Amino acid sequence: MRAARIMRRRAGISELMATLLTVTITIISGSAIFYYINARSTESVNLYGKSVEDVVNFLNEKATILDLNYTINSVTIWLYNSGGVDLEFNQILVYNHSRSLYYLYNASHVVNLNEPTTYVLVDNNPLLEVPRLSSFKLSSGKASTITLLIPQGWQGFVNGRTYYVNLLGKHGNIFIYYQRW
C-alpha cells in the first residue's frame, strides 16, 4: 500500500505548483492580449485623428483668386488666402472654353492635355512656374502671385477669349476662376 501511495505522489505535481503554473500562464496570456489590443486601439485612434485632421484642413483651406493677368505666353494668378491653413497647390489647370488650349502644371511637369505625350519637365525649365508649385506656400491672410509660362512652341493666349484656371489645393479643394483677356 505504501508503495502505491508513493508512486501516486511522484506521478503528479503538487497542487501549489499547479496553481502557480495556471496563474503564470493566465498572467502571461492576459498581458499579451492586453498589449495586442492596446496596440490595435492606438492605431485605430491615430487613424481616426488623421481623418479628423484631414477634414478640418479641407474645411479651413480657402482661397480667393483676385485677378488673372495675361500676356501671349504667360498668366499671372493673384491669390488671397482667406482660410485658416497655409495654402499649397498640387496642380493648376489652364484652359479655354473649347479646350484647344488645355495645360496642366504640377510640381514636376507642364503637360499639354490635348497631346498628353507632349510635356516639359519643370526642373529643366525653372521659369515655367514662378514660384515653383513645389515650394509655394501662402500663409493665412496673405496675398501673392503665381506666374505660369507656356513652353515655347505651344499655343499661347489669344486676346478676346475667355480662359479658365482651376487650382487644386493640397487638402482637396478646387478653386476656379475665369476671365476674358
Residue 54 confidence (pLDDT): 86
Q: What value does the mean pLDDT take over residues 60-67?
A: 94
Assigned CATH class of 62-180:
mainly beta
3-state secondary structure of 115: coil
Q: pLDDT category, 5, cuts 50, 70, 90?
A: low
Q: What's the number of CA atoms in the CB half-sphere (13 Å) around residue 90? A: 7
Report the largest interatomic distance among the alpha carbons of the chain, rounded to a whole angstrom.
118
Query: Mean pLDDT for the chain?
Result: 89
For the chain, the domains span 2-59, 62-180
Q: What percent of the chain has pLDDT over 70?
A: 93
Residue 1 confidence (pLDDT): 54
